Amino acid sequence: MPPLPTPHRTPSATASDFIQALRASALAARSGGQTIGEFLDRLGNGNAWLMSLILTLPFIQPLPTGPMATFGGLAFAGIGWRLRRGDESVWLPGRIRSTRPGPSTWNAFSGFGCALLRLLGRVSRPDRMVCLVEWVGRRGAAWLILVGGLLVAVPFLVVPLQNSLPALIIFFACVGRLQRDGAMYLLALLSLAVTLVYFALVTWVMFFAAEHSWQWFRQWLGR
């Protein structure tokens, strides 16, 4: 019996592919406008990696972002789950996909995206540490985004770096996937380890402070 044919999967785009797509998107917006859905279709397969990369930037700053972190973290976790299943495109409701921003919005977004990707091209090198790229792969990077999103959504009170450390997991995982750079995957794994240690330390300090506060309160009541 002949072996069954394996399904063909279009490889996800790289950073250089996205730069060309962003430039083409800006030209299309100036010539007649485009919807958000048309923009995502123009970016092609793998646009979830680029959009996740850009959406991490508000969370990397050191101050907590409040409820926005909870909703944003759950959105990252949802993207990671879809990536793990092999769907590398962003899903949006039809109403949002049909929205048609103005040319100035597209020009600003395209310019920012191209500048960000060019900057990443200077600090990252494609096909570096290939063994780690192959070991982590798409599924491993997707799991990093999923776990990073859940950690972003953790509702600590007001703790510095509570959003920025897990956001770095997502950021480096996306760069590693776009650039095929194993060093970025290594930084993502390191960020994951640092985040877990930091969260464990914060949790211990909170319980320690709560226990001693309760003991002090009981002593104060017994006077």
Q: Tens-of-pLDDT digits for all 223 residues of the chain?
A: 344 343 334 445 667 778 877 887 777 777 767 788 888 887 777 888 888 998 898 888 877 777 788 888 899 999 999 998 888 888 888 888 888 877 777 778 888 888 888 888 888 888 888 888 888 888 899 999 999 999 998 877 677 888 899 999 999 999 999 888 889 999 999 999 999 999 989 888 877 766 666 666 666 666 6
pLDDT at residue 81, as a whole number = 93
pLDDT at residue 214, as a whole number = 64
Residues paired with residue 128 on neighbouring β-strands, in sequence order: 181
Q: How far apart are CA 47 and CA 173, in angstroms?
A: 14
Tokens for 192, please give them.
Answer: 């994951």
How many residues are there in the chain? Answer: 223
Instruction: Give which of 115, 133, 159 is closest to 19, Cα–Cα.
Output: 115
Q: How far apart are CA 140 and CA 182, in angstroms?
A: 12
pLDDT at residue 107, as a whole number = 79
Query: To the nearest 5 percent, what fractions of the chain are helix, strand and coil?
Result: 70, 0, 25
pLDDT at residue 197, as a whole number = 94
pLDDT at residue 218, as a whole number = 64
Q: How far apart are CA 35 and CA 174, in angstroms?
A: 25
CA 206 to chain centre: 28
Q: Which residue has the tokens 């949006």?
A: 92
Residues 170, 56 contacting (CB under 8 angstroms): yes
Does the model's pTM come out above 0.85? no
pLDDT at residue 13, as a whole number = 63
